[in-house]
Structure 1
Amino acid sequence: MERKLDYRKTLLLGFGFFAISITWSVYNAFMPVLLGNFLESSALIGFIMTIDNYFALFIQPAVGFYSDGINTRFGRRMPFIMIGMPLAAVFMALIPNHFNLTSLVIFLVLMNLSMSLYRSPVIALMPDITYMEHRSKANSIINFMGGIGSLIAYVIGSRLFKYGEGYPFYLSAVLIVIAFTVLFMNIKERRDVIGYEKAEEKRDFVTGVKTALKDRNTTFLLFAICSWFIGFNGVETFFTRYGSLYLGVDPSVSAFTLSFISLSFLIFAIPAGLIGTKIGKRNTIRIGVAGVIALMIAVYFVKPGNPNAITIIRGLFLLVGFSWACININSYPLVADMSPLGLLGTYTGVYYLFSSIANIVSPPLLGLIVDTFGFSIMFLYGAFFFILAFVFMTMVKDKRAELNGGE
């Protein structure tokens, strides 16, 4: 009997990714502006922006693995979602109500801690409720929902920001609550999870990392993932300040410009999954990485004196969104394809470990480079790390991945 993908269930689960995406998009676009009201150093702002990734190194893997072993009437993942999502909404709404730098940092730390409680369980639900052969399609649908979240953050959030710095954060808080309600009412783990009583074998995180790094192909893939996230995260984090301080445009204009990546990603999310199925995940990723390299170099040559600078960058960002979709839609399924039997959850944790390391390294590193050389260097920085990612991807060869469409 043919096993089919439950599109309705996958779409409803996508609301969890929608909430994650809109929260981080608002956080990355507007938090540097709030911090900039108190701080001048881009390096220090970049360091503060990495706090969520320090939590991701320790709390998210621990929560993910612990959720494998519990057994409640709500399931394994939902208890963490029930705690984390409402708290994230509360602290997201409190961030713009800070009264000094200390209170702002406290609120953003508590928001990040709340996000760490539910992010891994939401992510783990996708393979929980999806047959292995349909996970690429499911990932494209879920990322489509995430793209909608980012688009709302940049398009509506940038408009709201003109009327008050707090409005994008309030919008995010309300949408987190709505997304939680949809998840809680429609995803019932004991009914929806495939093989609920046959959970994967429990492994500790350190052993999982060692197992993954013993395989050279997995190691090269993880290094590629780390490299492209360093390149992308740094540019995304500082683009609002890049626009205002280098190009001389209003921060709301910069934030709206980021929406062109989100719009393109949204349009091409599902096609990128289909392309990955047709020509292979690795080939699709390589095409995407090469595209981002060329486009970031092109943005570098767009200078402040050009009256059409923002228009040109927006056009290039549409193509960046397509290339980023080719990368992001296919990377996690490729990691899953490389996972030995019984280690899918562990490899998922390793995937997010390496992306978190990238997000810890990139903002302060780029901030330091910007403080030293200026914002003109920013897109060359991004291109350099995508070139590294391309080099690592050329070294990825894995027979298990080829058998599952990874070539």
Structure 2
Amino acid sequence: MERENKLNYKRTFYIGCAFFTIMLLWQVYNYTTPLFLDDMGVKDTLKGIIMAADNLFAILFIPLFGIISDKTKTKLGKRTPFIIVGTILAALTFPIIGYFGMRGNLVGMIIVIALVLLFMNIYRAPAVALMPDVTPKRHRSLANGIINLMGGIGGIFAYGTIIMFFKGESITRIIPFIVVSVLMLVGLVILVTKVKEKNILVEIEEDEEVKGEMENLNPLSKKEKISLILILAAVFSWFFAVNAVETFWSVYTVDILNAPDTNIGATALLIFTVSAIGMYLPAGILGTKIGRRKTILLGISLVFIPFAIAFFFREWNLIAMVALFIVAGIGWASINVNSYPMVVELASGKNAGKFTGFYYTASMLAQTLTPVFIGYLMDKTTRVILFPYASLFLALAFVFIFLSSIGVDKKLGKTIEA
């Protein structure tokens, strides 16, 4: 059948609307929150704890809702109800974070952050698991490239609004939060109207390739478990590295690089995002051509080198930062496009939510712990330690992925490398 040999690009782009809304919110949240907390005089250690608290919710709820959605049966499908409810609730409450941040209300801000993160976690695992539900294993790197492309576009919108409106003490700092909410609802409408999950799942029943993958519920072998653990350890390590930089980059640019404006760091992060977007589809193709593992190892190297170089800068240099973040963005895309498919490669279509939970538990645990650790280290030493810290954990991630081929049987090795 023709659909067995080709990826359904249009449907994959529509599914990516969910990831668009996720990344749109996270980028605004991650960039603006530390600045609000800085304005309130919050120390880096407490700041790290607050920034990590949202990820604690993710650790608790992403696996839970992933497993629940695996077992859900409704007229809308098993993932769509969670996407609808979570998106609407998050969109309605997110602007209140900006309101409390501008008012300097720390307690109110923390309470609303908790609510928003709960609502986001209702639909994150179901939204991501929808792609492997309807995509044959051999197409998942390219499909995940498209999904990440949509997320990257969300990041561009996010940083664009930050650069335009998040300035000084201006009342316009609330605008990025409002824009996020509106675009989240638009993305939801597109996804729900264009992706009829229930109909797609019925269609899949006629596709022998995908149907066979969905019905394969054999338990993992010892070798497969070793490979899964190593991959998840690598996921943990590179998020431990990169999230530390994302969390404290806004204050690092001002304190260490003497940037002239608090929002100028968003320029570098915007370049990082655009660079990653440009690489998402090539990274998916490259992962299919030379193997996901080799592509990820290359990607880790391309993030490590710019981070190591960035350590030596003590003044803001736009050209240098743009160059470094372009390279890092290419590397980050190569990692992310191919890592999630490596994890769900070991799943069937019927428990993709469970393995999605494994992936996000590793990534969110890292993002929960790293702001606290790096915040504490910076309080005890100096913020200059940020990039050596990140480089160390990128090196560990490289080792874990390199070792992930050890203990993998020939059949599985070909599957993951494909």
- TM-score, with structure 2 as normaliser: 0.90
CA distance in 2, matches of 1:212, 1:57: 25
Check whether the contact 2:19–2:127 (CA below 8 A) recurs between aligned residues: yes
Check whether the contact 1:43–1:371 (CA below 8 A) recurs between aligned residues: yes
Matches within 5 A, 1:138-153: 138-153=143-158
Question: Which residue of the partner structure matches residue 133 of structure 1?
Answer: 138
Check whether the contact 2:161–2:175 (CA below 8 A) recurs between aligned residues: no
Q: Deviations over 1:97-138 (max 9, x none)?
A: 224111111111111111011111101111112122211111
Q: Does 1:56 align with 2:75?
A: no
1:176–1:341 Cα change, 3 Å: closer
CA distance in 2, matches of 1:321, 1:71: 39
1:62–1:196 Cα change, 3 Å: farther
Out of 340, 345, 355, the residue aligned to residue 332 of structure 1 is 340
Question: Which residue of the partner structure matches residue 270 of structure 1?
Answer: 281
Out of 350, 369, 372, the residue aligned to residue 361 of structure 1 is 369
Matches within 5 A, 1:7-406: 7-98=9-100, 99=103, 100-162=105-167, 163=170, 164-193=172-201, 195=204, 215-249=225-259, 250-304=261-315, 309-339=317-347, 344-397=352-405, 398=408, 399-404=410-415, 406=417
Amino acid at match of 1:60: I
**Equivalent residue of 1:352, what SS?**
helix
CA distance in 2, matches of 1:82, 1:339: 25
Which range moved further: 193-202 or 68-77? 193-202
Q: Deviations over 1:262-299 (max 9, x none)?
A: 01001011001111111111001111111211111111
Cα drift, residue 50 of structure 1: 1.5
CA distance in 2, matches of 1:268, 1:401: 27
CA distance in 2, matches of 1:139, 1:212: 27
CA RMSD of superposed structures (Å): 2.3
**Equivalent residue of 1:70, what SS?**
coil
* Structure 1: gaps spanning 5 or more residues: none
* Structure 2: gaps spanning 5 or more residues: none
Cα drift, residue 48 of structure 1: 0.8
CA distance in 1, matches of 2:269, 2:39: 21
1:42–1:280 Cα change, 3 Å: same
CA distance in 2, matches of 1:45, 1:266: 29
Cα drift, residue 166 of structure 1: 1.3
Amino acid at match of 1:167: I
Amino acid at match of 1:287: L
Cα drift, residue 338 of structure 1: 3.8
CA distance in 2, matches of 1:14, 1:343: 20
Q: Deviations over 1:10-37 (max 9, x none)?
A: 1111111100011100011111111222
- TM-score, with structure 1 as normaliser: 0.92
Matched residues, percent identical? Answer: 36
1:201–1:41 Cα change, 3 Å: farther
CA distance in 2, matches of 1:279, 1:386: 22
When the two structures are aligned, how many residues end up with a matched partner? Answer: 400
Which range moved further: 256-265 or 162-171? 162-171
CA distance in 2, matches of 1:43, 1:85: 31
CA distance in 2, matches of 1:49, 1:264: 25
CA distance in 2, matches of 1:300, 1:83: 43
Amino acid at match of 1:178: V
Q: Deviations over 1:360-383 (max 9, x none)?
A: 111111111111111111111110
Check whether the contact 2:70–2:354 (CA below 8 A) recurs between aligned residues: no
